[in-house]
């Protein structure tokens, strides 16, 4: 099994009151346009889970009346993956450079240079050390997909074979057992 990695990065976003240049609105639109079926993360097969979120305010602790607030907004980027962070960042840049530039290109300190090495360096500067993953699985992506496929195939098999006699059920089980043990594994990002 390959190494399991977690990446948590906080990238500051230049913020001006009322977002006059639509920086935040544009980032939210790009993130919204890349939902599950059209996500560039789907094209990186090592990903278990990825999340992008704009943090625009912090809720103060109960009883805090100081009025302290964030001076800027942040882009939270959390990824749970198999393999090394650098390999994932290279993959993301290779499959969707326009997405990378549309999101991180609006963050403070993002380099004007194009290339995955500059993207990796930027994210490395924004990494928030977090020894615990956001959502972790003990298996690789392929192993997790295999288990989920088995579960789905078994549920469908049980549903399809309701009402059979004991002899018919036993015969169907013996016939289909190999297929249930080794179902077709879907592509990452399709479940």
Mean pLDDT calculated for residue range 73-80: 88
Per-range mean pLDDT, top range of 34-38, 46-50, 146-150, 179-183: 46-50
Q: Report the DSSP beta bridge partners of residue 82.
A: 4
How far apart (Å, rounded) are the C-alpha atoms in residues 51 and 49? 7
pLDDT digits (tens, 9 = 90+) for 20-70: 777 888 888 888 887 767 789 988 988 888 888 888 776 666 666 676 666
Least Cα distance to 148 among 190, 191, 178, 188 occurs for 191
Phi-psi region of 19 (alpha: psi -120 to 50; beta: other; left: phi over 0): left
Q: Report the DSSP beta bridge partners of residue 127.
A: 9
């Amino acid at each position: 099994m390959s190494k399991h990695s977690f990446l948590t990065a906080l990238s500051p976003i230049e913020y001006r009151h009322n977002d006059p240049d639509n920086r935040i609105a544009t980032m939210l639109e790009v993130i919204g346009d890349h939902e599950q079926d059209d996500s560039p993360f789907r094209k990186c097969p090592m990903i278990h889970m990825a999340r992008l979120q704009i943090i625009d305010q912090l809720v103060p602790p109960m009883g805090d009346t100081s009025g302290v607030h964030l001076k800027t907004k942040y882009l939270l980027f959390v990824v749970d993956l198999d393999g090394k962070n650098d390999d994932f960042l290279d993959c993301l840049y290779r499959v969707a450079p326009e997405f990378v530039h549309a999101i991180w290109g609006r963050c403070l300190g993002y380099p004007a240079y194009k290339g995955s090495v500059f993207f990796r360096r930027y994210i490395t500067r924004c990494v928030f050390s977090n020894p615990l993953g956001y959502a972790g699985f003990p298996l690789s992506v392929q192993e997790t997909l295999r288990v989920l496929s088995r579960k789905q195939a078994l549920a469908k098999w049980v549903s399809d074979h309701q009402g059979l006699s004991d002899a018919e059920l036993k015969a169907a089980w013996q016939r289909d057992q190999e297929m249930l043990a080794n179902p077709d594994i879907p592509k990452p990002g399709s479940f």
